[in-house]
Amino acid sequence: MSNDPSRQFDVLFEAVPIGPVTSKNRFYQTPHGNGCGFRDPSAMIEMRRVKAAGGWGVVCTEQTEIHPSSDMSPFIEMRAWGPEDRPVLGKVVEAIHEHGALAAIELSHSGLNTANLSTRLEPLGPAHLPVTTEDLEPIQARAMTLRDIRHLRQWQRRAALDARDVGFDLVYVYAGLFLSLPHQFLSRRYNTRSDEYGGSLANRARLLCELVEETKAAVGDRCAVPVRITLDEHLGPDMDTLEELFDVIGRLPDLFDVVIGGMNSGSGSARFEQDDHGRNEAILRRVKACTPAPVVSVGFVRSPPEMARLIRDGVVDFIGAARPSIADPFLPRKIESGRSSEIRPCIACNICVASDYSSAPVRCTQNPTFSEEWRRGWHPEEVPRRHAEMTLAVVGAGPAGMECARVLGRRGYDVRLYEASTELGGRVAKEALLPGLQRWIAVRDYRAAEFARLGNVEVRRASRVSAESLLTEPSANGRPRHIVIATGARWRRDGVGRHRDRPLTVGAGARILTPDDLPVVSPLLGRVLIYDDDHYYLGSVLAEVLARTAASVTYVTPVAEVAAWTHRTMEQRETQRRLLDLGVHIVPHRILSRVDAGGAELQCIFTGRISEMDQDSVVLVTARLPEDALAAELDRERDRWSDAGVHGVTVIGDARAPGQIVHAVFSGHAMARTFPDHDGALDHFERREMTP
């Protein structure tokens, strides 16, 4: 190791051979979905090009279906069904190669994990079993015959040859997360066969071995053949030990892309993050001891010194990343050029996962340019230069105002950011104090650090402004020519939300609170009823906080589950489990219809029957209203704008349309990037994919 601090990360930039190809460095963007795939190929291709430009040595595609019997609809992935898909695959390679990265393709057959909704082909599996899709599609996979298995091997070989011919450097065999046939065959849980593909480990691994050997035979002269595999015997008695498994497969592939544990461990949310780095490191050391192939795994993008240690200690050969490469596609370049402090950290909110699960182009809370590289022409690091020298005022330093001020500042405008509170961050500053959400403070801290670097964003804390103060700003200070309102939103106190369009009835003396009132001293609240018609995280996080101190907590929701939308962020099960463990009484399928001092009325969503419940305090988490008083006040004073030198006012973020942090950041970014052509209204769309 070099003692020269400027060389301490050199180890991360060493070239590493993988089979017949060589990566220029140790930064490896592992496969991840992006919700664009075959439907929005131009957006997907440009996104991968930007990753390569950001310095990743290896850039992988998402899962790529090798045959129509692996149609992953409604998920939007890539397809390599046949020659008609080669042009798109070729463009992916070109984009990745343009910046010197290796292009990797994750060929996959989903087997049991797909219902073939679009192609209507029979799903295939190791045994006759219901498909394992999350939405409980009522269809079964057919037990594959030996002929089916031969076909599968031919499909993999044909897709591998296509991938090689269009220029891919790494061609995967995917055996991860029970999402593909080789892994489903490996598992004792799904594989109950009695032929040569079932029973012993050698038999259950036969399909995986054949696929690796045949892919190598087909393309191994020019391409590396990695295996993505899920390892963790803690997943249950169906798993073989790592050593047993590697005894069979350890010498076959050119690289192991290791996923430790289930989906949640590689892409777990901050809220339920466990500090299992030690355990993961121990597993990877065992892998390294069992195979001569290089190893990559996700979950290891921590600080650059820590990355360098992992390489030097031989824990992994590559620093693998999916989400950190979404939050900051330029992470490797920033480390290489000594700008590690400029990395935009992933906050593990899993909004990206939720987009993918919704078949929408992936959005990122921290990186609003993600999926917009082609559609809107947004680059994560480059912004257009200001159109003229001028000062803009931004009111409100929540995620919307801070992102807007940051991008305006980077464009070269002088920015004055007013914040009523002494603290920056708006809702993020408050919510990051809640259990499990501490990492979210990076939304604020990354932007505050950018202000310090820029020098042209003047932050005025403890400055609650009014229309009057903005329009009479002494001209010596440089009058703002444009005012951006980012004053946020407040939670409704009337119960209106998804399941109630009129205010609920409130009797005298009822104690009603919203998340805006918390934290309060919860023992004083007595028996708390939390009514969650928002269905994201806040209702359940508050239930968790209050359950630790209030006399009792009842969580009421009009739907079946706690925080139902968080299935999309992969948090629902853990959320409900945590509330049950904390003794929270969960009442599903009820609308809150009346609140009185000491009691509440609930209505069954099916029968309309009313039941009563005792309570001392009700916390309503239903919907929000914009804090738009300042915008309205300025509008009333429109006649005075020109004397004050103000040309325009734009409302952004929650003050315009309450949403999640991801929406606020996007709104702030859009305004700042497109100013003065657009007034912040997101009613324009530059490019969309046209199908012939």
Q: Which sign, positive or negative, has the C-alpha torsion 344, 347, 348, 350?
A: negative
Structural contact between residues 621 and 515, judged by C-beta atoms closer than 8 angstroms: yes
Q: Which does 326 bind (CB under 5 to 8 A by kind): ligand ADP, ligand SF4, none?
A: ligand SF4
- Cβ-based nearer residue to ligand SF4, 70 or 367: 367
> Does residue 350 belong to the site contacting ligand SF4 (CB under 6 A)?
yes
Both tokens of 304, joined, read 């650059």
Structural contact between residues 364 and 358, judged by C-beta atoms closer than 8 angstroms: no
Characterize 98-108 residue by residue with b for buried, 16 or more Cβ atoms within 10 angstroms of its Cβ, and e for exposed: ebebbbbbbbb
> Minimum distance between the CB of residue 678 and ligand ADP, rounded to whole angstroms?
18
- Cβ-based nearer residue to ligand ADP, 180 or 366: 366
Which of 36, 173, 284, 349 is the binder for ligand SF4 (CB under 6 A)?
A: 349
> Does residue 47 belong to the site contacting ligand SF4 (CB under 6 A)?
no
Q: Which does 366 bind (CB under 5 to 8 A by kind): ligand ADP, ligand SF4, none?
A: ligand SF4
Contacts of ligand ADP in 624-653 (CB under 6 A) = 627, 630, 653
Stretch that binds ligand ADP, among 58-66, 161-169, 421-429, 472-480 (CB under 6 A): 421-429
Q: Alpha-carbon distance 33 to 36, whole Å?
A: 8
> Minimum distance between the CB of residue 13 and ligand SF4, rounded to whole angstroms?
23
Both tokens of 688, joined, read 């969309």
Q: Alpha-carbon distance 18 to 364, whole Å?
A: 31
Q: Which does 62 bind (CB under 5 to 8 A by kind): ligand ADP, ligand SF4, none?
A: none
Q: Which does 343 bind (CB under 5 to 8 A by kind): ligand ADP, ligand SF4, none?
A: none
Which of 224, 364, 400, 592 is the binder for ligand SF4 (CB under 6 A)?
A: 364
Characterize 25-53 residue by residue with b for buried, 16 or more Cβ atoms within 10 angstroms of its Cβ, and e for exposed: bbbbbbbbbbbbbbebbbbbbbbbbbbbb
Stretch that binds ligand ADP, among 244-252, 360-368, 484-492, 679-687 (CB under 6 A): 484-492
- Cβ-based nearer residue to ligand SF4, 294 or 361: 361
> Minimum distance between the CB of residue 420 and ligand SF4, rounded to whole angstroms?
27
What residues contact 174, with CB distance under 8 A and at least 6 apart? 63, 106, 107, 108, 109, 180, 182, 183, 227, 228
Long-range contacts of 600-609 (CB under 8 A, 24+ apart): 600/529, 602/556, 605/499, 605/558
> Minimum distance between the CB of residue 397 and ligand SF4, rounded to whole angstroms?
19
| Phi, psi of 75, deg, nearest 5 | -70, 145
- Cβ-based nearer residue to ligand SF4, 125 or 361: 361
Stretch that binds ligand SF4, among 152-160, 361-369, 550-558, 593-601 (CB under 6 A): 361-369
> Does residue 448 belong to the site contacting ligand ADP (CB under 6 A)?
no
> Minimum distance between the CB of residue 188 and ligand SF4, rounded to whole angstroms?
33
CA dist list (Å): 442 to 176, 353, 486, 641: 31, 19, 19, 36
Q: Alpha-carbon distance 225 to 107, whole Å?
A: 11
- Cβ-based nearer residue to ligand ADP, 517 or 581: 517
- Please write down the HEC assignment for all residues of 182-242: HHHHHCCCCCCCCCCCCCCHHHHCHHHHHHHHHHHHHHCCCCECEEEEEECHHHCCCCCCH
> Minimum distance between the CB of residue 442 and ligand SF4, rounded to whole angstroms?
8
Residue type, 653: G
Residue type, 357: Y
Q: Alpha-carbon distance 546 to 427, whole Å?
A: 19
x/- map, 54-73, ligand ADP, by CB under 6 A: --------------------
Q: DSSP letter at 122?
A: P
- Cβ-based nearer residue to ligand ADP, 53 or 486: 486
> Does residue 420 belong to the site contacting ligand ADP (CB under 6 A)?
yes
- Cβ-based nearer residue to ligand ADP, 11 or 420: 420
> Minimum distance between the CB of residue 544 and ligand ADP, rounded to whole angstroms?
21
Q: Alpha-carbon distance 204 to 193, whole Å?
A: 9
User: Which uninterrupted H or E stretch holds 640?
Assistant: none
> Does residue 351 belong to the site contacting ligand SF4 (CB under 6 A)?
yes
Which of 348, 408, 424, 545 is the binder for ligand SF4 (CB under 6 A)?
A: 348
Q: Which does 444 bind (CB under 5 to 8 A by kind): ligand ADP, ligand SF4, none?
A: none
Q: Which does 464 bind (CB under 5 to 8 A by kind): ligand SF4, ligand ADP, none?
A: ligand ADP
Structural contact between residues 615 and 529, judged by C-beta atoms closer than 8 angstroms: yes
Which of 252, 434, 465, 504 is the binder for ligand ADP (CB under 6 A)?
A: 465
> Minimum distance between the CB of residue 382 and ligand SF4, rounded to whole angstroms?
19
Identify any residues that bridge with 505 across adjacent strands, giving them in sequence order: 594
> Minimum distance between the CB of residue 397 and ligand ADP, rounded to whole angstroms?
5
- Give the interface size with ligand ADP as a residue count (CB under 6 A): 24
Computed over its alpha carbons, how large is the radius of gyration of the chain? 27
- Cβ-based nearer residue to ligand SF4, 171 or 321: 321
**Residue 636, helix vs strand vs coil:** helix
What residues contact 140, with CB distance under 8 A and at least 6 apart? 123, 128, 129, 130, 131
Which of 110, 215, 366, 557 is the binder for ligand SF4 (CB under 6 A)?
A: 366
Which of 248, 307, 347, 562 is the binder for ligand SF4 (CB under 6 A)?
A: 347
What residues contact 325, with CB distance under 8 A and at least 6 apart? 29, 32, 51, 54, 56, 331
x/- map, 393-412, ligand ADP, by CB under 6 A: --xxxxxxx-----------
> Does residue 464 belong to the site contacting ligand ADP (CB under 6 A)?
yes
> Does residue 368 belong to the site contacting ligand ADP (CB under 6 A)?
no
Which of 96, 343, 352, 467 is the binder for ligand SF4 (CB under 6 A)?
A: 352
**Residue 139, helix vs strand vs coil:** coil
- Give the interface size with ligand SF4 as a residue count (CB under 6 A): 13
> Minimum distance between the CB of residue 43 and ligand SF4, rounded to whole angstroms?
16
User: Which uninterrupted H or E stretch holds 81?
Assistant: none
Q: Which does 123 bind (CB under 5 to 8 A by kind): ligand ADP, ligand SF4, none?
A: none
Q: DSSP letter at 100?
A: T
Other C-beta atoms closer than 10 Å to the C-beta of 4 total: 8
> Does residue 427 belong to the site contacting ligand ADP (CB under 6 A)?
yes
Contacts of ligand SF4 in 314-333 (CB under 6 A) = 323, 326-327
> Minimum distance between the CB of residue 421 and ligand ADP, rounded to whole angstroms?
5
Which residues contribute to the site for ligand SF4 (CB under 6 A)? Answer: 323, 326-327, 346-352, 364-366
Q: Which residues bind ligand ADP (CB under 6 A)?
A: 395-401, 418-421, 426-427, 464-465, 486-488, 627, 630, 653-655, 664
